[in-house]
């Protein structure tokens, strides 16, 4: 009995740190601080990302094109003419934007600018989503690695104590071998999870371009998403992927109108004055291109076909996005419900289970073999809880990315391209 009491005291000491691997839920203030640090990290990576910076440069180019499209199409022309003996004239002419090409160009550039801004936002959303999923995998791997190391220590010392008991005749050979196998299995599991942690870290280094020694912590659970109750149609209206197709379609439609106006000739008017010997000369000039050899109908037909293609692409992406939103919402709601149920009941039940197992083993109602099996099952349940938390974060990131609300949830500003 004294050996059993000593064995139980050692097990309780070893079991204590394992119970703290998955801590209790964070306080609201701590959760907010952790989320703010996560937001700062995502913003930092976005600012350094070559892909985002390239799209920002493309956006700058679109802004410049919009400014250029608003400028007049034609500059005045100055003419000088001199002949011997004594004939000189000077004139100025101006081609008129009779068909309104300037306005049509501005509309095309405006829609293209808005599409470029939506592309930047979509890329930022995609990067934020991948970062969150990468951090979720790293956080899960780190929690499992800590738990596996504690489990390995526990099982090794369990095996050492079992060897002492076997030598004293208090434990048969079968139970002794079981303890040794459990220690070996825990060691192999710890090695496997250490590899998983290293792979998760390498993936984050590749995603961020940062070689940080420690990555930002994730809150125990992602923040509740107000958009979860928003209908799909409303989410689609603000989704950057759909806005890209919408503005692209509008730009293509405006391009068709531009081609029509470009097919209309613009007249040029001018004024000339001069002298010929002793005579003063004045005159007005008027010219108009004659669309005889080319009426530019092929260009109009091409633009019209491209506009129809863009409109159909928008319809197709709308269907795809709606399906993705509904599917991601369902997965996230299921993961959130499972996690909330675990937080409310699972954690408490697991603590009660550990105390009950200890009491049953100590009183002899549970054999050492059964106790070891039940103890391993308890540890596996904690591992499953860590996996569940990681799945919750990944499903939240998928939902936020699918609904187009991840930047709003992280309080990251989107590009402003108001051309009003």
Tokens in use for 254?
A: 């405006």
Summarize the confidence of residues 80-87 as an average pLDDT. 78
pLDDT band for position 17 (50/70/90)?
very low
Q: What is the DSSP letter of 26?
A: P
- pLDDT digits 0-9 by tens, 374-405: 777 777 888 888 999 999 999 999 999 999 99
**Which of 130-134, 312-316, 341-345 bottoms out in mean pLDDT, i.e. has the lowest?**
341-345
**Lowest mean per-residue pLDDT among 84-93, 110-119, 125-134:** 84-93
Half-sphere exposure of 17 toward its Cβ, with a 13 Å CA cutoff?
13
Dist. CA 186–CA 389, nearest whole Å: 22
Q: Is the pLDDT confidence value at 24 over 50?
A: no
Phi, then psi, of 27 in degrees rounded to 5 = -70, 165
Whether the CB-CB separation of 51 and 123 falls below 8 Å is answered with yes
pLDDT greater at residue 354 or residue 260? 260
Reply yes or no on domain 2-71+107-264+304-409 having CATH 1.10.3720.10. Answer: no
Residue 71 is encoded by which pair of tokens? 């400028």
Greater model confidence, 227 or 238? 238
In percent, the amount of the chain with pLDDT more than 70 equals 85
Q: DSSP assignment, residue 98? A: T
Other C-beta atoms lying within 10 Å of the C-beta of residue 406: 26
**Residue labelled with tokens 């996560």:** 38
Mean pLDDT, to the nearest integer, of 56-68? 95
| pLDDT interval class at 93 (50, 70, 90) | very high
Question: How many CB atoms within 10 Å of residue 3?
Answer: 13
Supply the DSSP string of 179-218, one letter for each residue: HHHHHHHHHHHHHHHHHHHHHHHHHHHHHHS---SSPPPP
Query: Any idea which of 14-18, 260-264, 277-281 has the lowest mean pLDDT?
Result: 14-18
**Residue 419: which residues within 8 A CB-CB, separation 6 or more?**
66, 110, 113, 114
Q: Are residues 57 and 249 in contact, defined by beta-carbon separation less than 8 angstroms?
A: no
Q: Would you say residue 103 has pLDDT above 90?
A: yes
Distance (Å, whole) CA 361 – CA 9: 12
Total Cβ atoms within 10 A of residue 395: 24
Confidence of residue 5 (pLDDT cuts 50, 70, 90): very low
- Enter the DSSP assignment of 266: -
Calculate the average pLDDT of the chain. Answer: 85
Predicted pLDDT of residue 113: 96
- pLDDT digit string, tens, across residues 147-194: 999 888 888 887 887 788 778 877 778 777 877 888 898 899 999 999
DSSP 121: H
Lowest mean pLDDT among 2-6, 42-46, 145-149, 151-155: 2-6
Query: What pLDDT, on a 0 to 100 scale, did the predictor assign at position 420?
Result: 52
- What was the pLDDT predicted at 118? 95
Q: Are 165 and 246 in contact (CB under 8 A)?
A: no
Helix, strand, or coil (residue 255): helix
pLDDT band at 370; cut points 50, 70, 90: confident
For residue 6, the number of C-alpha atoms closer than 13 Å in the C-beta half-sphere is 9
Structure tokens at 117: 């801004």
The phi, psi pair for 284, rounded to 5°, reads -110, 145
Q: Are 79 and 91 in contact (CB under 8 A)?
A: yes
Give the E-state strand segments of 277-358 in sequence order: 279-287
What is the model's pLDDT at position 164? 82
Instruction: Tell me the pLDDT band of 252, cut-offs 50, 70 and 90.
Output: very high
Indicate the DSSP class of residue 227: G
Which two tokens mark 183? 């220690």
CB burial string 153-166: b at 16+ within 10 A, e below = bbbbebbebbeebb
Instruction: Find which of 28-32, 174-178, 221-225 is predicted with most confidence, using mean pLDDT.
Output: 221-225
Task: Among 95-104, 170-179, 365-374, name the one with the lowest average pLDDT.
Answer: 365-374
Angle CA 337–375–159, to nearest 5: 145
Identify the CA nearest to 142 among candidates 213, 211, 208, 239: 213
Give the number of other Cβ atoms within 10 Å of residue 407's Cβ: 22
């Amino acid at each position: 009995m004294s050996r059993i009491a000593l064995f139980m005291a050692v097990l309780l000491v070893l079991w204590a740190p394992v119970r703290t691997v998955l801590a209790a839920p964070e306080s609201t203030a701590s959760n907010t601080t952790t989320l703010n640090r996560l937001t700062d990290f995502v913003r930092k990576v976005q600012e350094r990302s070559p892909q985002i910076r390239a799209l920002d440069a493309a956006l700058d180019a679109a802004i410049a094109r919009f400014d250029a499209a608003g400028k007049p199409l034609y500059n005045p022309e100055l003419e000088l003419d001199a002949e011997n003996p004594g004939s000189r004239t000077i004139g100025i002419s101006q081609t008129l934007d009779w068909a309104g090409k300037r306005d049509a160009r501005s509309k095309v550039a405006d829609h293209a600018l808005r599409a470029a801004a939506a592309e930047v936002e979509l890329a930022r959303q995609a990067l934020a989503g991948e970062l969150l999923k990468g951090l979720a995998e790293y956080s899960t791997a780190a929690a499992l690695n800590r738990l596996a190391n504690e489990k390995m220590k526990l099982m090794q010392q369990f095996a050492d104590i079992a060897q002492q008991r076997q030598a004293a005749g208090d434990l048969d050979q079968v139970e002794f071998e079981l303890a040794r196998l459990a220690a070996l299995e825990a060691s192999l599991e710890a090695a496997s999870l250490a590899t998983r942690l290293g792979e998760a870290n390498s993936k984050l280094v590749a995603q961020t371009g940062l070689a940080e020694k420690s990555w930002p912590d994730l809150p125990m659970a992602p923040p509740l998403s107000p958009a979860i109750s928003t209908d799909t149609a409303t989410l689609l209206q603000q989704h950057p992927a759909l806005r890209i197709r919408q503005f692209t379609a509008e730009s293509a439609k405006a391009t068709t109108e531009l081609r029509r106006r470009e097919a209309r000739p613009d007249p040029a008017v001018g004024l000339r004055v001069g002298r010929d010997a002793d005579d003063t000369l004045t005159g007005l000039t008027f010219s108009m291109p004659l669309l005889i050899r080319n009426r530019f109908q092929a260009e109009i037909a091409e633009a019209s076909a491209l506009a129809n293609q863009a409109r159909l692409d928008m319809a197709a992406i709308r269907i795809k996005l709606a399906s993705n939103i509904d599917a991601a919402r369902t997965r996230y709601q299921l993961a959130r419900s499972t996690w909330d149920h675990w937080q409310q009941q699972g954690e408490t039940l697991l603590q009660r289970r550990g105390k009950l197992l200890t009491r049953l083993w100590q009183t002899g109602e549970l054999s050492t073999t059964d106790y070891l099996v039940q103890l391993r099952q308890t540890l596996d349940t904690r591992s499953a809880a860590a996996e569940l938390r990681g799945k919750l974060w990944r499903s939240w990131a998928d939902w936020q990315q699918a609904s187009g609300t991840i930047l709003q949830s992280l309080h990251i500003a989107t590009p402003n391209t108001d051309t009003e």
